[in-house]
Amino acid sequence: MKKTARGKNAAPPCPINAALLMLGDRWTLLIVRNLLFARATGFNEIQRAGEGMATNILTDRLAKLIEMGAVEKRPDEHDGRKWIYSLTEKGFDLAPILLELSRWGVKYQKGVAPDGVLEAYAADAKKFLASLRA
Amino acid sequence: MKKTARGKNAAPPCPINAALLMLGDRWTLLIVRNLLFARATGFNEIQRAGEGMATNILTDRLAKLIEMGAVEKRPDEHDGRKWIYSLTEKGFDLAPILLELSRWGVKYQKGVAPDGVLEAYAADAKKFLASLRA
């Protein structure tokens, strides 16, 4: 981190900045999206969901997500050489950020959210978020 | 944009990805935060709110925000050499993303949101968002 004009300790820490620093670039959130909405669980599934992503990027960002406690992995019981990835509570709690990005994207950019997702979220956010964890 | 394993046209465009591509790095959202919550209007105010940011970064990201139609500028009537920056409707519509980032940051990272902001948003999101525009 470079020092800024104000000096690094001038302002109290901002949770928005803390979250953005933790999340890093867009790939981190796209991996969470794939785990959450595409129900991807394996490395290859996560990689191929949505736009797809380069192997080295997925490897790096998955490691960061595990390090920050948003994703956990366990061995695939059907194939001991593979891992199954899943969101922790901290990872599921990123869902509202993704849903608001989706809402803004649908309104102002391009793209279509999965059928009914934004409607269900708008109608009853708590209920919809609980259903994602199910 | 590099091509990915799936090819660039394999999946329908995702609004989350579209929004993340548009927003770019964290500085864009921190500028919106400063316009929205710190009520900054001038270049120097925006620069000094929160953590502060480098002049070249602020100049570049402000231009991008104006180009995408999320921020507009008009001459400062008290000083013709200066500009007043403000959020457009598209910019105000980024507020829920910032608020959800803030909620996640407060819960899992560090930092404290401004007094009452997250409580007011949780109690009545529509009312709170309308008050931000006032």
> What CATH number does the domain located at B14-88 have?
1.10.10.10
CB contact under 8 A, B14 and A93: no
CA distances to A68, A89, B19, B98 from A72, rounded to whole Å, are 10, 10, 26, 26
The dotted CATH code for A13-87 is 1.10.10.10
The answer to whether the CB atoms of A53 and B4 lie below 8 A apart is: yes
Local confidence band at B113 (pLDDT 50, 70, 90 cut-offs):
confident
Look at the block and give the residue holding tokens 């959020």: B87
Confidence of residue B10 (pLDDT cuts 50, 70, 90): low
Q: Where in chain A is the domain with CATH 1.10.10.10?
A: 13-87
Q: Do B16 and A98 touch (CB under 8 A)?
A: yes
Pick the closest to residue A10 from B36, B52, B11 (CA basis): B52
Say if B16 is an interface residue toward chain A (CB within 8 Å): yes
Task: Name B71's Cβ contacts closer than 8 Å, sequence gap at least 6.
Answer: B31, B32, B35, B62, B65, B85, B86, B87, B88, B91
Element (H, E) at A44: helix A43-48
**Helices A26-36 and B15-23, interaxial angle, to 10°?**
170
ipTM of this complex prediction, to 2 decimal places: 0.88
> What is the structure's pLDDT at A50?
78
> Residue A109 is nearest to which of B19, B48, B53, comparing CB atoms?
B19
Chain B, 51 to 80: residues with Cβ < 8 Å from chain A are 51-55, 69
pLDDT of residue B4: 45
The residue behind tokens 């579209």 is B18
Other Cβ atoms closer than 10 A to B44:
12
Q: Are B113 and A15 within 8 A, CB to CB?
A: yes
